[in-house]
Structure 1
Amino acid sequence: MRQINVNQAIDNAGFTRFHWMVMCLCALLLIFDGYDLFIYGVVLPSLMQEWNLTPLEAGALGSYALFGMMFGALTFGTLADKIGRKKGIAICFLLFSTATIINGFASNPTEFGICRFIAGLGCGGLMPNAVALMNEYAPKRLRSTLVAIMFSGYSLGGMLAAGVGIYMLPRFGWESMFFAAAVPLLLLPLILWKLPESVGFLVREGRTAQATEVLSKVDPNLEIAHGDVLAMSDSKAHGVAVLELFRESRALRTLCLWVAFFCCLLMVYALSSWLPKLMANASYSLGSSLTFLVALNLGGMAGAILGGWLGDRYNLGKVMVVFFVAAAVSISLLGFKSAPELLYLLIFIAGATTIGTQILLYAGAAQFYGLSIRSTGLGWASGVGRNGAIVGPLLGGALMAINLPLQLNFIAFAIPGAVAALAMTVFTLSNRTKPQVVVLTAKA
Structure 2
Amino acid sequence: MRSVNVHEIIDNARFSRFHWMVMALCALLLIFDGYDLFIYGVVLPVIMKEWGLSPLEAGALGSYALFGMMFGALLFGSLADKIGRKKGIAICFALFSVSTILNGFATSPSEFGIYRFMAGLGCGGLMPNAVALMNEYAPKRLRSTLVAMMFSGYSVGGMVSAGVGIFMLPRFGWESMFFAAAVPLLLLPAILYYLPESIGFLVREGRTAQPRLLLNRLDPTANLQADDTLEVVDGKGKSVSVIELFREGRAVRTLAIWIAFFCCLLMVYALSSWLPKLMANAGYSLGSSLSFLLALNFGGMFGAILGGWLGDRYNLVKVMIGFFVLAAISISLLGVKSPTPVLYLLIFIAGATTIGTQILLYAGAAQLYGLSIRSTGLGWASGIGRNGAIVGPLLGGALMGISLPLHLNFMAFAIPGAIAALAMAVYLVSGERQPSAPLQQARA
After TM superposition, the score normalised by the length of structure 2 is 0.91
SS of residue in 2 equivalent to 1:72: helix
Runs of at least 5 residues in structure 2 that lack an aligned partner in the other structure: none
Query: How does 1:65-84 map onto structure 2 within 5 Å?
Result: 65-84=65-84
TM superposition shift of 1:398:
3.4
User: Identity of aligned pairs, percent?
Assistant: 78
What CA RMSD, in Å, does the superposition of the two structures yield over aligned residues? 2.5
Residue 425 of structure 1 corresponds to which residue in structure 2?
A: 425
Query: How does 1:389-400 map onto structure 2 within 5 Å?
Result: 389-400=389-400
Alignment partners' CA distance in 2, 1:20 and 1:234: 27
Residue 320 of structure 1 corresponds to which residue in structure 2?
A: 320
Higher mean C-alpha deviation, range 106-115 or range 271-280 = 271-280
SS of residue in 2 equivalent to 1:249: coil
Q: CA 1:106–1:333 in 2, change beyond 3 Å: closer, same or farther?
A: closer
Residue 8 of structure 2 corresponds to which residue in structure 1?
A: 8
TM superposition shift of 1:436:
12
1:355 and 2:355 correspond: yes
Alignment partners' CA distance in 1, 2:172 and 2:427: 50
TM superposition shift of 1:170:
4.4
1:306 and 2:306 correspond: yes
Q: How many residues align?
A: 438
Residue 40 of structure 2 corresponds to which residue in structure 1?
A: 40
Query: How does 1:3-152 map onto structure 2 within 5 Å?
Result: 3-152=3-152
Q: CA 1:231–1:435 in 2, change beyond 3 Å: closer, same or farther?
A: farther
Letter in 2 for 1:350: A
Q: CA 1:329–1:104 in 2, change beyond 3 Å: closer, same or farther?
A: closer
Letter in 2 for 1:204: R
TM superposition shift of 1:239:
4.0
1:289-326 deviation line (CA, Å, top 9, x unaligned): 12322222211111111001111111111111111122
Alignment partners' CA distance in 2, 1:422 and 1:46: 38
Alignment partners' CA distance in 1, 2:273 and 2:96: 23
SS of residue in 2 equivalent to 1:344: helix
Alignment partners' CA distance in 2, 1:368 and 1:268: 23
Residue 184 of structure 2 corresponds to which residue in structure 1?
A: 184
Contact 2:162 / 2:291 at 8 angstroms: preserved in 1?
no
SS of residue in 1 equivalent to 2:220: coil
Residue 248 of structure 1 corresponds to which residue in structure 2?
A: 248
SS of residue in 1 equivalent to 2:217: helix
SS of residue in 2 equivalent to 1:203: helix
TM superposition shift of 1:393:
2.5
Alignment partners' CA distance in 1, 2:387 and 2:192: 31
Contact 1:233 / 1:435 at 8 angstroms: preserved in 2?
no
SS of residue in 2 equivalent to 1:230: strand
Q: CA 1:152–1:240 in 2, change beyond 3 Å: closer, same or farther?
A: closer
Alignment partners' CA distance in 2, 1:422 and 1:48: 37
Alignment partners' CA distance in 1, 2:73 and 2:237: 19
SS of residue in 1 equivalent to 2:232: strand
Alignment partners' CA distance in 2, 1:129 and 1:36: 17
Alignment partners' CA distance in 1, 2:272 and 2:280: 14
SS of residue in 2 equivalent to 1:233: coil
SS of residue in 1 equivalent to 2:221: coil
Letter in 2 for 1:303: G
Higher mean C-alpha deviation, range 342-351 or range 204-213 = 342-351
1:59-88 deviation line (CA, Å, top 9, x unaligned): 322221111111101100010011010000
TM superposition shift of 1:337:
3.9
Alignment partners' CA distance in 1, 2:165 and 2:417: 33
1:294 and 2:294 correspond: yes
Alignment partners' CA distance in 1, 2:284 and 2:65: 31
Contact 1:30 / 1:151 at 8 angstroms: preserved in 2?
yes
Alignment partners' CA distance in 1, 2:283 and 2:167: 30
SS of residue in 1 equivalent to 2:131: helix
1:136-181 deviation line (CA, Å, top 9, x unaligned): 1011121111111111111211222233334444444433332322
Alignment partners' CA distance in 2, 1:378 and 1:301: 20
Letter in 2 for 1:295: A
Q: CA 1:129–1:337 in 2, change beyond 3 Å: closer, same or farther?
A: same
Alignment partners' CA distance in 2, 1:299 and 1:319: 16
Q: CA 1:356–1:237 in 2, change beyond 3 Å: closer, same or farther?
A: farther
Q: CA 1:277–1:40 in 2, change beyond 3 Å: closer, same or farther?
A: closer
1:169-196 deviation line (CA, Å, top 9, x unaligned): 4444433332322221111211221100
Q: CA 1:246–1:331 in 2, change beyond 3 Å: closer, same or farther?
A: same
Alignment partners' CA distance in 2, 1:52 and 1:64: 18
TM superposition shift of 1:287:
8.3
Q: CA 1:334–1:175 in 2, change beyond 3 Å: closer, same or farther?
A: closer
Residue 370 of structure 1 corresponds to which residue in structure 2?
A: 370
Alignment partners' CA distance in 1, 2:331 and 2:19: 36
TM superposition shift of 1:220:
1.3
Q: CA 1:84–1:139 in 2, change beyond 3 Å: closer, same or farther?
A: same
Contact 1:260 / 1:424 at 8 angstroms: preserved in 2?
yes
Alignment partners' CA distance in 2, 1:110 and 1:337: 37
Contact 2:59 / 2:396 at 8 angstroms: preserved in 1?
no
Runs of at least 5 residues in structure 1 that lack an aligned partner in the other structure: 439-444
Higher mean C-alpha deviation, range 15-24 or range 159-168 = 159-168
Residue 415 of structure 1 corresponds to which residue in structure 2?
A: 415
TM superposition shift of 1:278:
5.0
1:77-119 deviation line (CA, Å, top 9, x unaligned): 0100110100000000111112122223323222222111111
Alignment partners' CA distance in 2, 1:337 and 1:47: 28
- Which structure carries more helix by proportion? 2
Q: CA 1:435–1:296 in 2, change beyond 3 Å: closer, same or farther?
A: closer
Alignment partners' CA distance in 2, 1:279 and 1:163: 17
TM superposition shift of 1:409:
3.8
1:29-83 deviation line (CA, Å, top 9, x unaligned): 1111112222233333443444443443333222211111111011000100110
Contact 1:95 / 1:118 at 8 angstroms: preserved in 2?
yes
TM superposition shift of 1:284:
8.4
SS of residue in 2 equivalent to 1:4: strand
Alignment partners' CA distance in 2, 1:281 and 1:118: 31
SS of residue in 1 equivalent to 2:231: strand
